Amino acid sequence: MRRLIALISLTGALAAAPAVHAAVNPQVAGLQVALRAHGLYLAQIDGIAGPRTAAAIQAFEHRHGLPLGPANARVRAALGPLGRPLFGTRVLERGDFGWDVSVLQFLLTRRGVYSGALDGYMGNETTAALRRYQRLLHLRADAVVGPRTLSAIVRRDGVPVRVQARPAHTVVHVVREGDNLTLLAARYHTTIGALAAANRLDPAKPIVIGQRLRIPAVEAPSLGPQRLDVRAMLDEWATRLGVDPHLVRALAWMESGFQTDLVSSAGARGVLQTLPSTRAYVETVLAGRKIPATVDGDIEVGLLYLKHLLGVFGGDEHLALAGWYQGERAVKEHGVYTISKPFVANVLALRTRM
């Protein structure tokens, strides 16, 4: 165990310079998640200490008046709850939040046992994925990263390891009834040829319901003019509308990880992942006006709807979040669905840490 901790401690000075051979260090994935929470890293969480990661670190240091340099302990402390602790320095179990959980989620994703968000929170999805991985490693499936599981993960995953970088902003669409390549190309602003090439399809043949299609990624934007302080924008609208900023941050983090350009297969958009039907309701009923389709506008739409739900349910945050997840009418008529309860619990658990 002591040898493993020493190995991992070598990552104390992270992302000092771009990696010449694009080496993947899972600890860097934890850094990237933390920087994303501050709106400074907009590319793929890939564990590569490349130029975008280095630029995001420098931007964070400049913003917080820190000396320019690697992501050392002082920088990680300034990053907040997601900036610590490094993976391997504590036992991980359900309910934990931080850098090390982000690293674990990254590792589980690479092993194909986790497909959830890289949000640094060890909730139901992460613990279930960890159990699956522990079974694969012939370990006790207790969903706890203790010494034996840590040793097996580090040994098998070779922290740090070298893998080919994945494309930025990859979106996977699960084919539903009525879908075809023409409609999907229009929906995702790409071409039939690009879809076919990305998924090795014959455009002349129909696609199959349930088939998972990789949507060709648009090149990630530079960190310059696209950089947004999403946290500050959320806080501003929360204060303006009288909603708890910590609740808003937790909800936005669970929905998108503060990503401004995320679009789900159902058409939910932006930081708070609001559906077109939700926007239409907010504009028509709650606001009585059109709201710009911008990051700022998306946040306004989401918070107007959240404030509405809090009002409808008398300030009960459990019911308001359930209404957000499953629909206001469904909560009134049927109560909180079983499937909604983990989402509500996760948001409220994160509330005290965001």
| Residue written as token pair 């934007």 | 221
- pLDDT value of residue 109: 94
Classify each residue of 323-333 as buried b or exposed e, where b means 16 or more C-beta atoms within 10 Å of its C-beta: bbbbbbeebee
Predicted confidence (pLDDT) at residue 82 exceeds the cutoff of 70: yes
- pLDDT value of residue 129: 95
pLDDT tens-digit profile of 231-256? 888 988 999 999 999 999 989 888 87
More confident residue, 228 or 64: 64
CB atoms inside a 10 Å sphere around CB 343? 21
* Torsion angle defined by CA atoms of residues 294, 343, 125 and 279, in that order, rounded to the nearest 10 degrees: -20
Considering only 43-57, 107-121, 154-168, 211-225, which range has the smallest mean pLDDT?
A: 154-168
Classify each residue of 21-56 as buried b or exposed e, where b means 16 or more C-beta atoms within 10 Å of its C-beta: eeebbbbbbbbbbbbbbbbbbbbbbbbbbbebbbbb
**Are 38 and 79 spatial neighbours (Cβ–Cβ below 8 Å)?**
yes
pLDDT tens-digit profile of 294-351? 888 999 999 999 999 999 999 999 999 999 999 999 999 999 998 888 888 888 888 8
Q: Could you give all domains of the chain from N- to C-terminal order, each with its CATH number? A: 2-157 (1.10.101.10), 171-215 (3.10.350.10), 230-351 (1.10.530.10)
* Contact residues for 118 (Cβ-Cβ < 8 A; gap 6+): 29, 33, 45, 102, 105, 106, 109, 257
Query: Cα 82–74–147 angle (5° rounding)?
Result: 55
- pLDDT value of residue 226: 36
In angstroms, rounded to a whole number, what is the distance separating the alpha carbons of residues 184 and 307? 34
Q: Compute the half-sphere exposure of residue 240: CA atoms within 13 Å on the CB side of its CA.
A: 12
Q: What percent of the chain has pLDDT over 70?
A: 83
Q: What percent of the chain has pLDDT over 90?
A: 34
Predicted confidence (pLDDT) at residue 9 exceeds the cutoff of 50: no
Element holding 148 (H helix, E strand): helix 147-157
Rg for the chain, CA atoms, rounded:
21
- pLDDT value of residue 312: 94
Query: Mean pLDDT across the stretch 17-40?
Result: 77
Query: Distances in Å between the alpha carbon of 310 and those of 253, 318, 342, 343?
Result: 19, 9, 19, 16
- pLDDT value of residue 160: 43
Q: Per-residue confidence at 205, pLDDT binned at 50, 70, 90?
A: confident
- pLDDT value of residue 189: 64
Q: Per-residue confidence at 64, pLDDT binned at 50, 70, 90?
A: confident
Using the 8-state DSSP alphabet, how is residue 284 labeled?
A: I
Cis ω on the peptide bond leading into residue 81 (within 30° of 0)? no
**Are 298 and 269 spatial neighbours (Cβ–Cβ below 8 Å)?**
yes
- pLDDT value of residue 159: 61
pLDDT tens-digit profile of 256-310? 778 777 777 678 888 898 989 999 999 999 999 999 888 889 999 999 999 999 9
- pLDDT value of residue 116: 87
Predicted confidence (pLDDT) at residue 223 exceeds the cutoff of 70: no
Q: Tokens at residue 160, please?
A: 């740090």
- pLDDT value of residue 190: 67
In angstroms, rounded to a whole number, what is the distance separating the alpha carbons of residues 309 and 257? 22
Instruction: Single out the residue of 119, 102, 108, 109 nearest to residue 149, CA to CA.
Output: 108
Considering only 8-12, 34-38, 100-104, 258-262, which range has the smallest mean pLDDT?
A: 8-12
What does pLDDT average to over the chain?
81
In angstroms, rounded to a whole number, what is the distance separating the alpha carbons of residues 260 and 42? 9
pLDDT tens-digit profile of 153-193? 877 776 643 333 333 445 778 888 878 877 777 666 666 76
